[in-house]
Structure 1
Amino acid sequence: MIALSDPISAFPVPDLASLPEDVRARILAVQEKSGFIPNIFLALAWRPEEFRAFMAYHDALMGKREGLTAAEREMIVVAISIGNQCQYCVVAHGAILRVRAKDPAISEKIAANWRKARLPARSRAILDYATKVATASHLVSSEDRAALAAAGLTQDEVWDVGAIAAFFSMSNRLANAIDLTPNPEFQAIGRG
C-alpha cells in the first residue's frame, strides 16, 4: 500500500505495482494523458473488481459520441454533485467541464447556482431533470420527461440524463463515504 502523508482516502491505497495489469494499465494511461493520477482511480483500485465495473459503466455513459454533448454530460455531473455535496466530483468534473465547454468560468457558474446562470433552455431542462433524479428520484414523473422532450431531447438523451445523474449520485456517495480528496492539479485545468 502507498504511505501517504496526506491521505487521499480513509481506505487503503494500493501501490501501482501490486495491481492487476489491466487496472494498472488504465491508471497509467490516464496519468500519461493528464499528467497526474486522479485520486478516484487510486481509491477504487483498492478493489479491482469494483474498479472495473465502475469504469465500464462510467465509460458507457460518458464516452458516447452521440446524443448529449461531452459538455452537457459534465454539466450534469457538476450540478448533481453540488446537490449531493460531493467536493471531489465538483472539483474534478468542474475541471473537465471547463475543458469540454471551452469556458473557464462555467464550472463555478454551475456549482454556485446553475439556476441563476445564463444557460440555454436545453441546458436548464437537463439540469432540472438531473437534479431531481439525484435528489428526489421518487418524485420524477412523466411531466419531467415531457419537459425534456419539449426542450428537444430524444428518448435516448432523456435516458442518458437520468442514468448519468443516478450513476454519479452513487459515485458522490462513495466519494463522501471514503473521504476522497480532490487532486490540487484539477484547479488549474481549463482556466488558461
Structure 2
Amino acid sequence: MTDSTDVSRFPTPALDDLPEDVRDRILAVQEKSGFIPNVFLVLARRPDEFRAFFAYHDALMDKPGNLTKAEREMIVVATSSPNQCQYCVVAHGAILRIRAKDPLIADQVAANYRKADITDRQKAMLDFAIKVSGEAYRVSEDDFATLASHGFTEEDVWDIAAISAFFGLSNRIANVTNMKPNPEFYGMGRG
C-alpha cells in the first residue's frame, strides 16, 4: 500500500501488488486516457469488489440501447450532485462534456438540470433518476406513464433506475473514502 492522501483517505495499493487482471484493467485505462482515474486506485484495494463494481458499471454504461452514452453520463452527473459527490460530478462531468460534445452541459446539469439546455425528454429522465436516487419508495405508475409519454420503454426505465441506484452506491463510497477527482478531469471537454 502507498500513502495516498492526494487520492483518498485510504492507502492505495501499488500496481505491482495487484492481481494481474486488476492491474491490466488499470493499465489499459491509463493507456487510453493518459492517466489513472483515482476511482480505479481506490477500489483496487479490494480486488473482488473492484471486479464486481466495474463489471456492473460496464453493464450499465457501455450497453447499447435507447439511452445515449451522453444521457447515461447525464444521469450520473444529475444524481451525484444532490449526493454531493465531488468525484463523480467532476469525473463524469468530464465524460459528459466529451460525449455530448458540449463544454457547458455538465456544469448546467450539476447545478440545476431543470434549467439546463437539455430536451424535455431528458428532463423527464432526470426527474425520474433523481426520484430513484433519493426517494425510490415514491416511484409510482405515474412515473412510468410520464416516461412512456416521452418515448421511454420499460427497458429504458430499468436502465435509468439502475444507473441512478448504482451511482448512489458509488457516490457513498467516494464520499466515505474522500476520493479526490484527478486534476485532468477539470479541463476535459471544455475547449
- Do these two structures clear the TM 0.5 threshold for a shared fold by scoring above it? yes
Q: What are the ranges of 5 or more consecutive residues in structure 1 without an aligned counterpart?
A: none
- Tell me the amino acid that sits aligned with residue 54 of structure 1: F
After superposition, the C-alpha distances for 1:23-67 in whole angstroms (9 at most, x for unaligned) are 000000000000000000000000000000000000000011222
Correspondence for 2:62? 63
- Tell me the amino acid that sits aligned with residue 3 of structure 1: D
Q: Is the 8 A contact 1:10 1:180 kept in 2?
A: yes
Q: Is the 8 A contact 1:9 1:181 kept in 2?
A: yes
Whole-angstrom distance in 1 between the partners of 2:8 and 2:173 = 11
- Tell me the amino acid that sits aligned with residue 121 of structure 1: D
Whole-angstrom distance in 2 between the partners of 1:156 and 1:42 = 32
Q: Please give the root-mean-square deviation of Cα atoms over the aligned residues, in Å.
A: 0.9
Deviation at 1:116, TM superposition (A): 1.2
- 1:86-125 matches, cutoff 5 A: 86-125=85-124
Whole-angstrom distance in 2 between the partners of 1:143 and 1:55 = 33
Deviation at 1:2, TM superposition (A): 2.1
Q: Normalising by structure 1, what TM-score? A: 0.97
Q: Is the 8 A contact 2:91 2:181 kept in 1?
A: yes
Whole-angstrom distance in 1 between the partners of 2:74 and 2:118 = 11
Deviation at 1:93, TM superposition (A): 0.2
- Tell me the amino acid that sits aligned with residue 53 of structure 1: A
- The percentage of aligned residue pairs carrying the same residue is 63
- Deviating runs (4+, > 3 A) in structure 1? none
Q: What are the ranges of 5 or more consecutive residues in structure 2 without an aligned counterpart?
A: none
Deviation at 1:117, TM superposition (A): 1.5
Q: Is the 8 A contact 1:83 1:134 kept in 2?
A: no
Deviation at 1:142, TM superposition (A): 1.1
Whole-angstrom distance in 1 between the partners of 2:131 and 2:59 = 22
After superposition, the C-alpha distances for 1:155-180 in whole angstroms (9 at most, x for unaligned) are 11110000000000110011001111
- 1:34-183 matches, cutoff 5 A: 34-183=33-182
Correspondence for 1:189? 188
- Tell me the amino acid that sits aligned with residue 86 of structure 1: C
Whole-angstrom distance in 1 between the partners of 2:12 and 2:158 = 34
Deviation at 1:7, TM superposition (A): 3.0
Number of matched pairs: 191
Correspondence for 1:3? 3
